[in-house]
Structure 1
Amino acid sequence: MNDRSVGVEIDATAKWLEERGIVGAARLLRRVAHQRDEAVRQLGLRPSSHAHQVVGGECTAPRDLDAAAEAAMLRTDVARFQTLAERAGWVPDPNAKRLWRWRDGWWELSYHRRNPKDGYHDTGWYLWGPPESCVGEWTATLKNDATREADRLITQHLAAMAEVRR
């Protein structure tokens, strides 16, 4: 990795991904951030960390055009990253019988043995999602069946959320 800063939020997200064994997505996120930084440099725009400059002892605000162009580039980069992460499908977590997936938020599919005291009434794969979504919903006994069922549940949940927003 270069010694150039990619931003606190991007670096924190990349570290979070690496901690969960999603190293490829972390590398992709950092690469997109570096490409954004390079584009900002080539276009002569000021990065947001240098949002003001000192001229004759006084601070001046950045031009609106520079800020709008940088914000648009960042939104494009984030959308591109989210699209690539969604296409990746279910990514295994090396530390446990757990899979991760991005679809409008992070989803977790993990394997648990039957233990009614902990809320696992059947042995198999359980789905957790972002807030206001699935919370430990049993999907299937086998991994392939569980991923298909989880994808169906996620699609169903996202469609319901889109309907509520209308």
Structure 2
Amino acid sequence: MNSIKSFSDHAQCGRLEVHLVGGFSDDRQLSQKLTHQLLSEFDRQEDDIHLVTLCVTELNDREENENHFPVIYGIAVNIKTAEIYRASFQDRGPEEQLRAARTLAGGPMISIYDAETEQLRIGPYSWTPFPHVDFWLHQDDKQILE
């Protein structure tokens, strides 16, 4: 919250508004857990936070061939008009494979965007080979999921 409030120059007027969009009904219930953590954290804040939009988990879920997917992957905001609309992305972010490999190998999720400087940064990291990668690359999805 402090990083958000730092942009207001300590103004006493206005209000903190939250638009929470994302997640879906995933099998491991990661979206539900994250949604609960976020809402709990907002509730613990001393500041008055206004939840304006909530489109998460079951409210953002669609099913195709017994698989769940999010309806909306991301939103964008026109800051001049305050219009919120569905965002479309040509790419899924810088170095998607590298960032995915980091979490697949057990590394923590990292924040690569610094809101204060408005810069993307991928800092130093260490990487060790994935054990038995040749074996796993030759397995079909069904075998891996078992």
Which protein is richer in strand relative to its size? 2
TM-score computed with the length of structure 2 as normaliser: 0.27
Structure with greater Cα Rg: 1
**TM-score, structure 1 length as denominator?**
0.25
